Amino acid sequence: MKWSKLIRPLLIILILLSLVLMWGIWTGPSQYDNQTGNEQKKSSSVVIKRQLSRVFGPSQIVLHHAGQARMTMKKEVLTSSNKVFNEIKLDKLEEPINFSSGDYQTELSQQDDKIEWLYFKSIPFGIMSNLFSNLQEEYLEKTFDRIYLTETNPSEINFYNTADKLLYTSEIEEIDQEQLLAAIHRQGVPYRFVEIREIGEKYIYLPINEIKLPCLTYMVEKQPNSLFIGRLFDDTSEVREKRSEQSVQYLDYISEIRINEETNILNYYRNRSSSKAMPLTKTLMLSFKELTLYESWSDEIHFFDYNKQTNEVTYRRYIDGFPVFSPIGYGATYLTVVEDGMSRLQVPMVVAQTPISDEKNPKTLQSGSDLLKGLAEKNYTLETIDDIKIGYTWTNNLESDRVITLDPNWYIYTEGSWINVQELDENGGD
């Protein structure tokens, strides 16, 4: 009797619960939206924090002493010296003077020991305006790509533009010289002796001796599509998906994401029109802000190039102080920004996560003189080369798509492309 009295209310409760669940299914967000939201929450916690001063900071340090030069690209030295450098207090910039590349190198080889910082690409003074107490407005968009000062009791700092052959000078108001020297002469960090070679309209530094560098192997991780969908689209409910044999597209009415599912390279386009040209400093600052949202590389990222015609900014991945190159495009992120936001993005969705290599298996690279001799034999003379660098070549493992190798190689920049010296007979570079 008691059970018979309970059956009816239990049935009513079950019916009400089923109605609630059905209402939730019909009115709640789609599975795609839920998945996107959940993955985005997880992914947002792994955004790499990057410092503006490092992304736009120097990539090499050269010490000049008694006519000899020694160079390092060690991240530890660059990071620690950059931290001290960004606490320097400067006055204003003196009017620049014309200074040839030869005069510049002669100045570095004078009696006093010099510290020189080399930037890969010219940087506007506006990026480091916080260091100046009286930086004149007319110099905000002027650029430089090298800095030097004397090691002992420096009273001024010098900025050099190798393309325009202009030397800017500023009086140092405050500097912690002891900390700077401690960072530069960090114990256990080797500086390699280098020779100075004139190439194009500038001088570069090449190692006097052979260099041994480790071949690296990494486990890689692909960032989820939903991370980019959630950040690049204003309203994911408007997003449509289209698939083809090798790619997937996500579109709304004003923008598009296209992901190559074989290479895991993402391209994003959004129709933004702006007739007003932005200053270089603002362009770089806006592109840096976007970079921090979409590039998850755990090692260093450096500003690598700027195309004035297209307004495209290139940021390159670095590993152990050296740039990463890939013919497919795993080495760099490309951004185009206008006043109201980003209009184009190309970013590799795959990032190196866990090292699994034995670094006791080094690769020997030629000395600078042997390299130039070999290049000349292949009809690549200093007149046809715009730059030379050591970089790590990204190669996918044929047996596992979760493993990559990074091998050190010499690279030359010629006719607008970075080319692996070992593959000069092939089309390469990104």
Residues 293 and 178 both lie in one domain: no
pLDDT at 152: 86
Domain-located, residue 14:
no
For residue 30, pLDDT beyond 50: no
Q: What is the mean pLDDT of residues 114-134?
A: 96
Q: How many domains does the chain have?
A: 2
pLDDT at 37: 44
pLDDT at 171: 96
Which of 163, 186, 207 terminates a domain? The answer is 207
Residues 229 and 161 both lie in one domain: no
Strands (E), 125-275: 143-150, 156-161, 166-174, 192-199, 202-207, 211-214, 216-222, 240-243, 247-251, 255-260, 265-270
Residues 190-226 pLDDT 10s: 899 999 999 877 899 999 999 999 999 999 999 999 9
Residues 278 and 177 both lie in one domain: no
CATH code, domain carrying 352: 3.30.310.160
Residues 224 and 344 both lie in one domain: yes
Residues 168 and 228 both lie in one domain: no
Residues 93 and 200 both lie in one domain: yes
Indicate the SS3 state at residue 385: coil
Residues 349 and 214 both lie in one domain: yes
Domain-located, residue 21:
no
Residues 210, 302, 422: CA angle, nearest 5 degrees: 35
Residues 213 and 135 both lie in one domain: no
Domain of 109, in residue numbers: 52-207
Residues 179 and 291 both lie in one domain: no
Percent of the chain residues past pLDDT 90, beyond the cut: 72
Which of 207, 227, 262 terminates a domain? The answer is 207
**Whole-prediction pTM:** 0.87
Rg of the Cα atoms in the chain: 27
Residues 163 and 89 both lie in one domain: yes
Residues 305 and 318 both lie in one domain: yes
Entry field: residues in the chain: 430
Residues 228 and 90 both lie in one domain: no
More confident residue, 93 or 152: 93
Domain-located, residue 185:
yes
Q: Residue 115 in contact with residue 149, Cβ under 8 Å? A: yes
For residue 65, pLDDT beyond 60: yes
pLDDT at 31: 33
